[in-house]
Structure 1
């Protein structure tokens, strides 16, 4: 079966420093796949390379059967690969609804039509509202983003990502900076995403990782240490030594 997202011997260098070393991944369609590892393990660099903002020194990246290694970030979005960021990239002075609406129009390649009010597109409006309803933000549609609590802003990022109709969604610490009680609500919405959608996420909270991931890849010093189910990762003494043990023992 063709993987939804795959890499072959992917490597990234910044000068003499090798941030990612020969990483080969195969992530199946509909997977819930976590990337974990200690600080400096190369997780965010790997995500940036997968999504096109960092160029690899070697290796290949495939979305389905298509080699996208040479494509730009925008081109990969149009191939079905969308991401959220560790630090959000929202338009803070626009409303919640307009943030999602712009994502819908960008997917349809219509954001250049400045002569026409974006709110005149009824189908796009309906889709944007549907995305907001999914993350329980429809009641806040007309508020400026700057007025939202930070946890709600993180949910808005998910709505914007869904507006791109991705096949693969990459989440870089989707609950970063959010209190624990709100983190669970964010991951509950991630868990409710369509099973046809492949989700890859970075997360430091091992409780959330073991609760929501079906498969886990552990990175150390830019390399894959191991990969397996949550039960296998939790029981692996190497993982406990280099990562889990530093944060306490978390059973699957």
Structure 2
């Protein structure tokens, strides 16, 4: 079966520093796949390279078997690869509804219509409401994003990502900066996403990782150290040393 997303020898260098080194990763269609590692492991750098935020130095990236290595971030989104960011990238002065509607218009390449009146497009409005309903944001639709609690802003990001109609959704620490109770709510919504949508997520909270991931890749020093099921990763002494031993504690990277 063709994997949802696959890398071959993916490398990302900044001058003489190798942030990601020769990573070959395979994420199966419909997977709930976590990417973990200690501080400085290169997790976010790998996400940047995968999604086109930063061009890879070497290697190949394929989405559903199609080579997207040379494509821009916007073109990768159109091929079905969407992401959320460790720090949200929302239009904070716009309402929740406007943020999601703008994503739909961008997907349809109709962004010039936005400032005329997106509300006049019934199909856009109806779809936006569907995404907001999934994210439990209906009651916040008309509020400016800047007025929302940070946990709700993370849910807006997920609604926006869904509006691009992705095949693969990459989540870069979706619960970062959010209180524990809200983290649970965010991951409950993530867990409720349809199974035909492949999820690759970076997360530092191991409790959330072991609850929601079906497969885990451990990145250390920009390279894959090991990969396996949650049970296999929990039992791996090398992983225990990375997180609990001299090599440091887990966190964002």
With the length of structure 1 as denominator, give the TM-score of the two structures: 0.96
Unaligned runs of 5+ in 2: none
Deviations 1:130-155 (A, max 9, x none): 00000100011011111111110011
Deviations 1:55-93 (A, max 9, x none): 111100000110000000000000000000000011111
The CA distance in 1 between the partners of 2:158 and 2:47, in whole Å, is: 16
Deviation at 1:53, TM superposition (A): 1.1
What secondary structure sits across from 1:243 in the alignment?
helix
Aligned positions, number: 248
The CA distance in 1 between the partners of 2:61 and 2:128, in whole Å, is: 30
Match of 1:222 in 2: 222
The CA distance in 2 between the partners of 1:244 and 1:8, in whole Å, is: 30
Unaligned runs of 5+ in 1: none
CA contact (8 A) 2:38 2:249 kept: no
The CA distance in 2 between the partners of 1:156 and 1:114, in whole Å, is: 18
The CA distance in 2 between the partners of 1:103 and 1:89, in whole Å, is: 12
Match of 1:102 in 2: 102
Deviation at 1:115, TM superposition (A): 6.6
The CA distance in 2 between the partners of 1:195 and 1:86, in whole Å, is: 23
Deviation at 1:20, TM superposition (A): 0.6
Q: Which residues in structure 2 correspond to 1:226-245 (within 5 Å)?
A: 226-243=226-243
Deviation at 1:9, TM superposition (A): 0.6
Q: Which residues in structure 2 correspond to 1:31-180 (within 5 Å)?
A: 31-113=31-113, 116-180=116-180
The CA distance in 1 between the partners of 2:110 and 2:54, in whole Å, is: 27
Shift of the 46–95 alpha-carbon distance from structure 1 to 2, 3 Å rule, reads: same
Deviations 1:21-52 (A, max 9, x none): 11001101100000000010000000000000
Deviations 1:180-216 (A, max 9, x none): 1110000000000000000000000000000000000
With the length of structure 2 as denominator, give the TM-score of the two structures: 0.96
The CA distance in 2 between the partners of 1:148 and 1:84, in whole Å, is: 17
What secondary structure sits across from 1:10 in the alignment?
strand
The CA distance in 1 between the partners of 2:52 and 2:89, in whole Å, is: 16
Match of 2:189 in 1: 189
Deviation at 1:112, TM superposition (A): 2.1
Over the aligned positions, Cα root-mean-square deviation in angstroms equals 1.2
Runs of 4+ in structure 1 displaced over 6 angstroms?
Answer: none
Match of 1:2 in 2: 2
Deviation at 1:127, TM superposition (A): 0.3
Shift of the 244–110 alpha-carbon distance from structure 1 to 2, 3 Å rule, reads: farther
